[in-house]
Amino acid sequence: MKVIAYYRVSTNDQNLGIDAQKSIVKQYCDFNKVEILSEYEEHESGKNNNRVLLSVALAETIKTGASLIVAKIDRLTRVAYYGLGLCEKYKIIFCDHPTMGTLEQSIYFGMAQQEREYISQRTKAALSALKSKGVKLGAPNAHFTDEMRGMALISRIGNSKSNEANQKAYAIVSIMSGNWSDKARFLNKNGFKTSRGGIWRPQQVQRLVAIMTQ
């Protein structure tokens, strides 16, 4: 059997996601003695149905008689009707569900779409909550949508919450009285550092509390 491999992530800085997909596809192909004719990497949203490299990969499957292979169902698309339409027209192998039938396809594509909708809802909720706490989001002149800012923001929130320096600082300021300047002064006086090893400023303390309470 011969295949055309397709990998997708939503943004340009998700190289680890591409690497993980390649590893999954390689393991599948090695185990099943499948030959990979070519590989395509695309950085596009799963809700975008007009992807250039996906179209090229699909066209190559027709030309060569090979199947398209993707690591996971949601890497192909997060739009249920579009995914089902592709499966009707092309030979596609999903490494996470290689033997599923039409009914299972409907279920899993539906779940992928639902997760995309949940992500959008969580993004909007995170933006709204932080805006209500006075946290400024992004550069005022940057050409980003709220959804793009929100996705990046959710990632930063996760990193901030897991950072040991932030956890220690928050443990102190969360039980302190006084204004943001008082709290920043206390942290600096007692040797607490920011996640980047710098000194605390009032706005940073305010932002820390807003993020850690999400």
The pLDDT value recorded for residue 203 is 84
Using the CB atoms, write b or e for 117-151: b if 16+ within 10 Å. Answer: eebeeebeebbeebeeeebebeeeeeeeeeebbbb
A 10 A CB-CB count for 98 gives: 10
**What is the C-alpha separation between 163 and 211, in angstroms, rounded?**
12
Spell out the per-residue pLDDT of the chain, length 214, in tens: 999 999 998 876 566 788 899 999 999 999 999 999 999 999 888 888 889 899 999 999 999 999 999 999 989 998 889 999 999 999 999 999 998 888 888 888 888 788 767 666 666 666 676 667 666 555 444 445 555 455 555 555 555 666 778 788 887 787 777 788 888 888 888 888 887 888 888 888 888 887 776 6
The reported pLDDT for the residue numbered 23 is 94
- The whole-number pLDDT of residue 141 equals 47
What's the pLDDT at 120? Answer: 63
Give the list of residues 6+ apart from residue 84 with CB closer than 8 angstroms, or none: 102, 105, 106, 109
pTM of the model: 0.56
Q: For residues 54 and 40, is the Cβ–Cβ distance under 8 A?
A: yes
With CA atoms as reference, report the closest residue to 78 among 38, 39, 41, 118: 118
Is residue 193 classed exposed, middle or buried when 0-12, 13-18 and 19+ CB atoms within 10 A define those classes?
A: middle
Q: What is the pLDDT of residue 124?
A: 67
* Residue 14: per-residue pLDDT: 65
Helix (H) or strand (E) holding 143: none
The pLDDT score that the predictor gives to residue 210 is 75
